[in-house]
Amino acid sequence: AHVKWVEPDNIHLTLKFLGYITKEELEKVKLATREALRPFAPFEMGVARLGAFPKINYPRVIWMGINKGREVLKRIASNLEERLAIIGFVKEKRPFSPHLTLGRVKSSKGRERLIEALTKVEATNLGKMSADKVSIMKSQLTP
């Protein structure tokens, strides 16, 4: 399968996708984000396994899941969701699933080999990282 891999420097964990926002909304988002994060201290995250959305047998997005720190991330995302709803952002209907996007599948040609490779990796601990800051990022997907 043809996969567009994320550049290592661009790998991140998304707490909330906002879509297009104005400069005025950005200022409100910054304030809401600060408020949502106020109760939380930096913590350690553990990267656990490889997976794919929507499912491993039909991969569109390839990701690494978070095990250690997962519950803290869920609380942070929930706090942020509530704060952003107050200023008019629609709440996400899907449950929050903390992950790091590694790549997007652009073509399903040869998908079987990709599925085989993904299912062979049964790692339970792919490393640790410190969660000590949140950034508001502009997302620009390329073809």
**Over the stretch 7-24, which tens digit does the pLDDT of each residue have?**
999 899 999 999 999 999
The token pair at 139 is 């997302």
Extended strands (E) in 9-116 = 43-55, 58-66, 99-107
Hey, where are the domains in the chain?
Answer: 2-131
74 with 43: CB under 8 angstroms? no
pLDDT computed for residue 121 by the predictor:
77
pLDDT surpassing 70 at residue 93: yes
Cα 41-42-48 angle, rounded to 5 deg: 130
Where in the sequence numbering do the catalytic residues fall? 12, 99
Topology, domain 2-131: Cyclic Phosphodiesterase; Chain: A, (3.90.1140)
pTM of this prediction?
Answer: 0.84
Confidence of residue 118 (pLDDT cuts 50, 70, 90): confident
For the cut 80, the answer to whether the pLDDT of residue 114 exceeds it is yes
Contact 118, 103 (CB under 8 A): no
Residue from 63, 56, 139 nearest 103 by CA? 63
User: Residue 76 pLDDT more than 90?
Assistant: yes
